[in-house]
Structure formats: structure tokens, C-alpha cells
Amino acid sequence: MLYQTLFIISTLLIIGCSSEPQQKTKAILKPKVKIEVPTFNADSAYAFVAKQVSFGPRVISSKGWENCAIWLEKKFKTYTSTVILQQAPINTYDGKNHTLKNIIASFSPEKNNRVALFAHWDSRHIADHDTKNQNKPILGANDGGSGVGVLIELARQFSIKNPKIGVDIILFDAEDYGQPENSDFPIMQDSWCLGSQYWSNNPHKPNYFAQYGILLDMVGAKEATFRHEQISFYYASNILQKVWRKASRLGFGNHFVFESANQILDDHYYVNTITGIPTIDIIEYDPATESNFNKHWHTHKDDMDNIDKSTLNAVGQTLLEVIYTE
């Protein structure tokens, strides 16, 4: 009986086990594909800044401005076939008439998922924060030239390895022809950022929209620090955090500081308020200066001695990481 009982119990156990539902097969997790992000070439970016400066001050309607515009358009055409020169008549605070030139280079223009990268390519027509020769134009190596130099290097990288998303590089004209504080002319509202105002109201493509935008302004000085500018934080805090976290993980925390800074009226203000594209401004913030800008801001010392390759690299590599991991 004991044998039979054991046999019956063992049989029931076997039947019971076999009648239980089989465990679900665990989902097979696909291994994460490692994204190869290109290496930013700071030497190349530095050379692009130097080339712009070699034309002299790039003040709208000047000879240096005209020659630089030709060079920029040709340079972008070596990296993409989609280059647009957007021209429009403008009036400046001093009563002068000009024709501005915004320069746009697009990569994968057929893609709807896009990011816009901005900078201004003109330079200040006066040295209003210098102690001498205040009425003469400046070279603008950092203020204008540095952002453009970084973006040209990015364009070169995009031509070698196309990102998964579409990218538009948009260079604004007449950003720095704003009315100075001690001007004798009648006050002109919105006298700054004329190129971005025009583009925002007249995009280069009908119904143009990007997921977000990043503006570069004064991104080349030695030991420059970038903080959370408040217009950027208000309109695009998630983009601001994403870029700063990328920079921190790459080891550029000495440049990208997790601190708030005052709001700055720059091209991104008009992009945000007119187009609705959430856009941040990567711009130097120096708490030690009265203006909180670079110490050579709007002076004749904003030349190539004011440009540092390590700062260009920090900004450029961060942007490559952001773009290629989208």
C-alpha cells in the first residue's frame, strides 16, 4: 500500500506539473547599437574663424562683408547642394538702407524631423565698449566669428557622415547693427537682430518648422562659461537641460555651468516668439564683467587672440553628440 500510495502521489505530482501553464518566454532584448559620433576638429573650426576675420570687419554693405558672404556661400556648397542666400531690404537705426543676407545650408532637406543651428555672421559696426576708436568697426572674431566657425566645421562633418535627422544651419545677418545706448538718433525698437527677425517672419521654406533650435553666440573665448540664459530656459528648458547634460558627460562641465544667467536679447528671442521653434542660446556669460559678456565684447581686442581652440571644441563636440544621438 505504501508503494502504491507513493506511486499515486508521484503520478499526481507529475500530472499536476505537466498541467501547469508554461512560463512565458522572456522577451529578447536587442543590444543597444553604439552610435559613432564624429570627432570635432577644433583646428578646422579655428581656421574657419580666422578666414572670416581675414576679410576684416563684416559690417553690412561693407567690402569685407560682401567678400565674406561670397566665401561662406561657396564653402557651404562644398558640403551640401542645398544652400540658400536669403536677401531683403532693411532700414537701420541710423537711417541707412541695406540689403541683408541670411545664409542657409540644409542637410537632408527631405526629412521632416529637423534641428536648426543658428549664428550671426556679421560683426559690430562700432567699438562702443572700447576706450578708443569707438566709431570704427571691430573684427568680431568671437562675437560672430566663433559661432560661424563651429557651424562650418559641423557642416563639414555632416557632409562626411549624414545624421539621421535633417539639419539646417542658418547664419543671420545684421544681428550686431543695434542702436548703441548713447545714440543721438531717435530710439528704434527692435534695432538688433534684424536678420533673425526677417527670417522668423519669412522662413526660407514655406511652413518651415524644426523640433528645436540652438543658437551660438560668443563661443570661442578662453575659459568661456555658458549658463542657463533665462529666455532659453523659459521657451526650451528641456533642450537646455539636454545640451548641458551632454556637455557634462563629455567632460565639459567647466564650460557648461548648471547655473542661471540673466535673459539676453539675442536672435533666439525672435525665433522663439515669432516661429514657435523652441530655441536656446549658448552664449558666454562672465559674472566678472559689467556687461556679463566676454571682456573684449564690442572692442577692438575681439580678434584672433581672443579665440581658444579648447572652447571651440567643447561647444562643437557637444553639438555633434546632440545631433548624432537624435
Decide: helix, strand or coil at residue 183: coil
Alpha helices in the chain, H assignment, sequence order: 2-19, 42-54, 63-77, 147-160, 194-201, 230-249, 267-270, 309-324
- Tens digit of each residue's pLDDT (9 = 90 or more) over 246-265: 999 999 999 999 999 999 99
Read off φ and ψ for residue 82, nearest 5 degrees. -105, 90
Written as nine digits, the cell of 316 is: 562643437
Is there a contact between 122 and 90 (Cβ–Cβ < 8 Å)? no
- Tens digit of each residue's pLDDT (9 = 90 or more) over 124-167: 999 999 999 999 999 999 999 999 999 999 999 999 999 999 99
Give the mean model confidence (pLDDT) for residues 316-325: 98
- Tens digit of each residue's pLDDT (9 = 90 or more) over 88-111: 999 999 999 999 999 999 999 999
Closest CA to 232 of 247, 222, 220, 217: 217
Read off φ and ψ for residue 97, nearest 5 degrees. -105, 135
Give the mean model confidence (pLDDT) for residues 293-318: 98
**Going from the N-terminus, what domains does the chain have, and what CATH number goes with each?**
38-177+188-324 (3.40.630.10)
CA atoms within 13 A on the CB side of 325: 12
Burial class from Cβ neighbours inside 10 Å (0-12, 13-18, 19+) for residue 81 reads exposed
- pLDDT classification of 34: cutoffs 50, 70, 90: confident
* CA–CA separation, 306 and 23 (whole Å): 66
Using the predicted structure, report yes or no on whether residue 321 has a pLDDT greater than 50.
yes
Percent of the chain exceeding pLDDT 70 equals: 90
| Residue 259, phi-psi category: left (phi > 0), alpha (psi -120 to 50), beta (remainder) | beta
pTM for the structure as a whole: 0.90
